[in-house]
Structure formats: C-alpha cells, structure tokens
Amino acid sequence: MSFSSVCLSFDLLPTLNSQVPPINTHIMSTHHLLPSFYSSNYHFSFPSNISSSSSLYSKSSLGSISFVPKENKEKRCKAISKSQTQEYHEEFETNVKTLKLCETNVEDDKVIDDEEDQDIVVGLVNSIKSILSSLEDGKTNMSAYDTAWVALVEDVHTSGTPQFPSSLEWIVKNQLQDGSWGDSQLFLTHDRILSTLACVIALTTWNMHPEKCDKAMSFFRENLDKLEDENEELAGFEVIFPSLLDRARRLNIDVPNDSPILKNIFAKRDEKLRRIPREMMHKIPTTLLYSLEGMSDLDWKQLLKLQSQDGSFLTSTSSTAFALMQTKDENCFKYLNKIVNKFNGGVPFAFPLDTFERTWVVDRLERLGISRYFQQEIKDCMCYVYR
C-alpha cells in the first residue's frame, strides 16, 4: 500500500470543513525534506499549522512535501504514477468524503433513519479501516538522482564491477526523450540538471552508453542557464551539486568551467560549509546526515556510530550509498540491497516512509472531524510512531 493510497486531497476540504485552507498536498519523488518525517528511525515534531502559500523543497525537488495553491494544480506531482495508486487513492478519498457528508447531515439534524443509508456508513467506515490496517513501509516514485548514487557503488568484494547492476539498468531504461533524467510529469530545472548529471556520472564511471551520455550532456548545457530563472531552489542543492560537478570533471565529463551560475553555486557552497559545525555533525544525529554525498573530509569512524538501526543514514538512499562507497559497511549494504531488490533496481529518495504515512492519515481524519470512527486505528498508528 502506497502513501498516495491513503493521502487525502485537500480539494475536498473546503466543502467539508471551512477551517482548512484550500490547498493540495503532495509528496514528490526524489530527495529530501526532514528525514524524521518519513521513518521510524528518528522522530521530530510534525508541523501543525501550514500556510497554503508555503512550500518545502528537497535536495532534488521531488522528495518534499509541496503545498501548491489550488490555482496551480497543473504544476503538482503525485508521489506515485496514477496507474499505481488510482484505485486506492480514489477509494479512500471517496469514502472519506461520503462519510463526512453523512456526518454533516447528522449535525444539521437530518438524522439518517433509513437502514440502507446506515449500512452505507458502516460500509464506508469498514473500507477505510481496511486501508488503514494495511499500511506498511510506504512507497514513492523512484529517484533518478538517488539511483545514480546506488549505481556508483563498486562491488564490495570484486573491484571494477558495480555492486548493483540492476540500478544501472534502471538508469538506462528511464532516460527521458529530451535526454534528461528526473520527474517526467513535472519539469523543474534544478531536479533535471541534478538528476541528469548524476546519471551521466554513473554511466561514465562504468563505461556504458556514451550515446546516452552525449544526449544528456547536450540537455545539461542547453538548460544550465535556466537555474538562474527558477525560484524553486532545492534544499541542499548548493552542497550536493558542486560535489557532482567535481566528480564529473575527474571523469573528464565536459561541464562548463566559466559559467557565472556555477561560480555562484560554488560560492554558496563554500559559505554554507564554513557555517557547518563539523564537531556536532560527528557527535549527534543532524539532518546533515541526509546529504553526506555532498560533504568531504568526513570522519567515518564517528559517523558510523550515528547510523540508523536499519543500516541507513536517516533513511537517505544516496547518503547511505555514499557511506557504503567510503566504508564498505555491511549494514549499509544490507539496507541498500533490500531496497534495490524491492524496487527492481530503482530506489526512492528515502525508505521507509512508515512514520509519515501514519501521522499524515491521522492528521487528515482528525481535521475532518470523523476520527471517532477510527479510535483504535489511530491508537495503533500512534503507538507505531512512538514505539
């Protein structure tokens, strides 16, 4: 069961509850908001008051919660393609809407005496309970950026071969027609540029498909200047993008050296890294663990002490892949191997998404005022979150 199968569309809320702002909420596909949102490995506070104009972007645009004003619906992006989630999403959405309307009738003293109508309410409640009881680890779109980092991992036992060849196959199969990699339904320059360069680096590292790389780099050069015109700069972009550029140049990939845009990004990187408390980063879990691939001069002996129980670094697949490349840590390998096998080569920006799914569903039911039908299910969700 995916997150989208239980995610309520805010399109419905203006007619159901005047207290809720008319916005659409979506979780998008690649990299990263607060890792603690998603996984049971770490827990931080869940935001209670969200403005309809706010948006939280991730290090590859789609790995965030994005709050899109209703008039901008055409720009939104679902967590999983419509074909994978339509059935569950529409079932949950329709059932909750109908149940809320029944509640409204009761509040207006239009008591439903008809036995058939009562059976409908019972059926809706049971259907929603069935969906809630089937929540698992969660699922979102595969991330080209994170998959590229996984594809870069060298075999931990045999040098010169990829540890996860199926991730390379995923990259080969998922290049877009314009030569780029990234979300096919939503064009954000930062996402496309970042994902495309990462995939070219992965293919070049293993001497694969130079024709795909040439097409991709044509896209890269033609669209690089658009970074300046796009307001949606991604969290951490100024740290991880320069790291990719440095890696590309070491592979003799033809990236511009004199671009004012790139010089500005490098300057932002240097300024940000000067402010990072390295000692704290190596002693306590911080969100910096989610972007290790953009860092240098790391003390891995200390960082491995901050590893999550599942072997990841704050559920980030790219950060964990980078850690595996640097340390050959067995727990990192087990975490990535499980995900690569689960998703047939591609990997999401983070895994699992279990905590986010449960807190989000509980929040929706509470906001709609129908939580009393699901007290045990809500209790089970919160016990899972705080276990």
Q: Which of 136-140, 290-294, 368-372 has the weakest average pLDDT? A: 136-140
Q: What is the pLDDT of residue 102?
A: 60
pLDDT digit string (tens) for 131-187? 888 777 767 789 999 999 999 999 998 889 999 999 999 999 999 999 999 999 889
> Considering the domain 144-342, what is its CATH architecture?
Alpha/alpha barrel (1.50)
Tokens representing residue 291 in the block: 């972007």
Please, are residues 13 and 22 in contact by the beta-carbon 8 Å criterion? Answer: yes
CB-facing half-sphere around the CA of 226: CA atoms within 13 A: 14
Average pLDDT along the chain = 76
Residues of the chain with CATH 1.50.10.160: 144-342
Please, are residues 319 and 294 in contact by the beta-carbon 8 Å criterion? Answer: no
The residue type found at 386 is Y
pLDDT digit string (tens) for 59-89? 554 443 333 333 343 333 323 333 333 444 5
Q: What is the largest CA-CA distance in the chain?
A: 75
Question: CA separation (Å) from 168 to 164, 285, 312, 340?
Answer: 7, 31, 21, 11
Report the pLDDT averaged over residues 286-297. 89
DSSP H or E stretch at residue 147:
helix 144-151
Q: What is the pLDDT of residue 41?
A: 43
pLDDT digit string (tens) for 190-219? 999 999 999 999 999 999 999 999 999 999
Q: What is the pLDDT of residue 195?
A: 98
